[in-house]
Structure 1
Amino acid sequence: MFTPPFATCDQPSGNQENPRELLKTVVAASLVTGLEMFDFTVFGFFAVMIGDRFFPANDPMTSLLWAVGTFGVGFFMRPVGAMIIGAYADRVGRRAAMTRTSWMMALGTAALGLCPSFASIGVIAPLVVIAARSLQGFAVGGDIGVAATFVLEAGPVSRRGYLVSWQLASQGAAALLGATLGVLLTSTVSPAALASWGWRIPFLIGLLIAPVGLYVRHRLRDDPIPTNTARNAGTPLAELCRDHGTTILLAMLMMMGQTIPVYAIVYFMPSYATRVMHMPAVIGFLASALSALLLVVIPPLAGRLIDSLPRRKPLALLASGCTALLVYPVFLMITRATSALPILCGVGLISTMVAFGAGAVALLVLEALPARVRASGMAVSHALHVALFGGTAQFIVTALIRWTGDPMSAAWYVAPACLVSFCALMLFKERRLET
């Protein structure tokens, strides 16, 4: 049994040494989180079509601006979901919280995939889209932190890097599935059909979240609730603000250096390639698919490396520093590209650095929080930083390009953000749990 230096009563006693049980836990938590992230992020891949269908305007960039703004609405609901669902998970249990997020995500995705266009029902259509994005954001805001905590507490300390890495890989798999569908649809469906109904296909596929999520998560062994949690029911958020405010703030800034490059470069690339670079949509989807593939393959390898190192922080610093240095050259390469290769190389470089550092940063945050507020703390820090920096990234980048007319202006936002993230990581105190 491994216990942290905080207080032994705060650590759940559910570390699973049974390989079969541990595998089931990791698969259940990661698979459903991946499906939820697919439902949430596929909106970004098809922002151009969604903008045209629900936010029609004379200027195509204005429609895109409305679409990416709606994309950001879901992110602003994530902190609300994180606070409510995270606190519920710390009071009642991780499994119960994860089951409820599956239902909410399925409902929001169904509303998006089935909503009639603006031409059919007028202003009601964009209102339904905004409400659906809000529900999706609420659900995924709580699920990511709770699922990561559930996986962390399920296994031995010596394998935490590898186990948590599958949560990150599942999010990469979600992006890979979305980008792959984008490539298939843009290659096999006519532009008119894609704009009319083809963009709905990924959302309808995403409805698998309901049956799959409920089945696999219902079969999980319920986790024990930390002793102090029962005594302080209803107060995890108060304790989090009172005792761990600095940790949450630095965690948000640390994660920002991964989130902004991913959302401003990777998820935005299909729209960037078509609207800004005037290239075929398939090139943007190929770049996103390559990035997502790297985000699936690299985190488990990086997780094993993290487990073999005496400290988490050096690897996180190396990845964060390289990301900050690469942003400007990558955008320069992309904006001067005349073929797909430079775009693929640039996006691949950024994705590799992000994938190597994400697991180490997640572990630093999870291990800095006692178990009684761990789900709340991870959920809130992740949701707040994504709402402030991830949900606004595409909107800010689009606005900068539209106002300046310079495609390189995107780097003016991404590079300084990565530098701030590196500085926050330098200030963060590592608290790796000891045997």
Structure 2
Amino acid sequence: MNTGQAAVEHNKPPAKAIAAAVAGNALEFYDFIIYSFFAVYIAQSFFPTGDKYTSLLASVAVFGVGFFTRPLGGVLIGAYADKKGRRAAMILTVTLITIGTLGLAATPSYESIGIAAPIIVLFARLVQGLALGGEVGPASAMLIESAPPNQRAFYASWQMASQGIAVAVGGIVGYLVSAQLSLEQLASWGWRIPFLVSLALIPIAVYIRRALPETLEEPTYHNDAEMLTIIFTRYKKEVILGIMVLMATAITAQVGNYMTTFAINTLKFDPKIAQVCTILGGLMMFLFSLLAGLLADKYGRKSIMLWPRVALMLLIVPMLYLLVKTESVAMLLLVTMMVTLLTGMTGASSLVAIPEMMPIALRATGVSIVYAIGVTLFGGTAQFVLTWLIEHFGAISMAYYVVGTSILSIIAILMMPETRHVNVKD
């Protein structure tokens, strides 16, 4: 083995350290998105307006509120990761997500404590958003900084793949809960079970994250204001392009998550069937995110970002039309599968290209800001917008929302540089 190869092997972290980062990330996303899977029942517990549509709209609006603390989390925790290290920031985010999850799992219903119930739920969502806003930047930075140069996209693809794991596990837990309980039990207390499962696992995530390798050797900046000034001046173009790319990814990811609510509320499917499509979607995102990482290492980042996005833009309208027309379980599963696997591919390749555009000294902060803003503005409003569009213009209208934002994302991808050969240690 030559000196260069030895250096790579010496710097390469053990597989268990990467698994620790992925496990913590998956757990945090599970906590965040499980809310959307049980939005119908959460609406009944905390937002009893007397009108089912208004209650659901209030519930998904509070789901969206969790996105609006993401930019703050991105700035604060991202900057902390660039000053104190990736490991410390990633332990902090798991701790915060614990607080948010406990708030959701333990809060009594509106019937029990009145207006305090939705206020506590709102606070819990804000804390969860703060944690996730600061999670993606440090985790993505650590993954690409740990990887051998020719495997960076595969390592980074575990960021998106872990979100697929979270969706799949959430779907499995949701299916088991839905299969064992009646609709009355689900609405009364059964929806809390997935959050309690998460709380039991969080201490393990905190423990294993302490074993993560530190990839930031020496911080360059110690002043948050200076870091932000440099990011929004010297790297302004990179920030704007990154936000435009993640915009469509955030929306289509939420379309995939929303299929559970759509199947129950609009298509009137049994909740157990809706949870099956969630499991399938998570598995597709997991598998095809990793495939995208392998392909991006071989063929470059831009093509793997571009072509799945183009395919989804062309397919989404006819797929949703056929789903609404046939109201078949098979079509529901096909739509979910295609949306999630294509989103996983373009998302995974984006989450390596965007960090590679940023210097190591500002990488966690920069990626956190790009991710938080892109996901806040579009992912955070997606479920509210989708619910409103379906109510006023029919189910097909959400497909055109995907098409419009995909066009803007494609333009941004074409303007981005190819980053496969950049030195991420600079």
- TM class by shorter chain equals over 0.9
254, 260, 274: which one pairs with 1:270?
260
Letter of the structure 2 residue corresponding to residue 101 of structure 1? T
| DSSP-derived class of the 2:14 partner | helix
Alpha-carbon shift at residue 227 of structure 1 (Å): 5.1
- Among candidates 53, 57, 60, match of residue 52 of structure 2: 60
1:98/1:143 contact within 8 Å kept: yes
Contact 2:84 2:219 in 1 (8 A): no
Question: Once the two structures are aligned, what percentage of the paired residues are identical?
Answer: 34
Q: Is 2:323 the partner of 1:334?
A: yes
**Distance (whole Å) between structure 1 residues aligned to residue 201 and residue 124 of structure 2:** 15
SS of 1:391's equivalent in the other structure is: helix
Q: Provide the TM-score with structure 2 as the length reference.
A: 0.94
> Conserved in 1, the CA contact under 8 Å of 2:295 and 2:304?
no
Letter aligned with residue 416 of structure 1:
G
Correspondences of 1:42-61 after superposition (within 5 Å) = 42-61=34-53
Query: Could you tell me how far 1:175 is from its partner in structure 2?
Result: 0.5
Counterparts of 1:290-329 in structure 2, within 5 Å, are: 290-309=280-299, 311-329=300-318
Alignment partner of 1:256 is 2:244? no
Structure 1 pair 382–90 and aligned structure 2 pair: CA distance change class (3 A): same
Amino acid at match of 1:187: A
CA displacement, residues 53-90 of structure 1 (integer Å, 9 cap, x when unaligned):
00002210111000000000100111110010001111
Contact map agreement 2:12 2:148 (CA 8 A) in 1: no
Contact 1:106–1:209 under 8 Å retained in 2: no
Please state if 1:245 is matched with 2:233.
Answer: no
| Contact map agreement 2:86 2:139 (CA 8 A) in 1 | yes
Counterpart of 1:299, as a letter, is S
Structure 1 counterpart of 2:378, from 383, 389, 392 = 389
CA contact (8 A) 1:90 1:372 kept: yes
- Cα distance in 2 for residues equivalent to 1:233 and 1:91: 9
Aligned-pair distance for 1:283? 2.4
RMSD over equivalenced CA pairs, Å = 2.0
1:422 to 2:410 alignment: yes
Alpha-carbon separation, structure 1, partners of 2:47 and 2:416: 42
Q: Distance in 1 between matches of 2:176 and 2:111?
A: 27
2:419 aligned counterpart, secondary structure: coil
Structure 2: runs of 5+ lacking an equivalent: none
Deviations along 1:114-157, whole A, 9 cap, x unmatched? 00000000000000000000000000110111111111101211
Q: Deviations over 1:8-42 (max 9, x none)?
A: xxxxxxx8624983312211111100000000110
Q: Which residue does 1:103 correspond to in 2?
A: 95
Q: Are residue 124 (structure 1) and residue 116 (structure 2) matched?
A: yes
Hey, what does 2:274 align to over in structure 1?
284
Say if 2:239 and 2:366, in contact at 8 Å, map to a contact too: yes
Q: Deviations over 1:143-198 (max 9, x none)?
A: 11111111110121111011111121111000111111121122111111111110
1:169-180 to structure 2, matched below 5 A, reads 169-180=161-172
Deviation by residue 1:280-322 (Cα, 9 ceiling, x = unmatched): 222222112111111111222221222122x211121111111
Cα shift at 1:229: 3.1
- Residue 408 of structure 1 is matched in structure 2 by 396
Q: Deviation at 1:233?
A: 6.5
Q: Identify unmatched segments of 5+ residues in structure 1.
A: 4-14
Cα pair distance change 1:351/1:197, threshold 3 Å = same
CA distance in 2, matches of 1:211, 1:284: 30
Residue 21 of structure 1: SS of its match in structure 2? coil
What's the offset of the Cα at 1:228? 2.5
Cα 1:20–1:236 shift into 2, 3 Å: closer
Mean Cα deviation higher: 347-356 or 94-103: 347-356
Partner of residue 365, structure 1: 354
Partner of residue 22 from structure 2, selected from 18, 30, 48: 30
Mapped contact 2:66–2:127 kept (Cα < 8 A): yes
After superposition, residues 150-165 of structure 1 pair within 5 angstroms as 150-165=142-157
CA contact (8 A) 1:330 1:347 kept: no
**Superposition deviation, residue 424 in structure 1:** 1.4
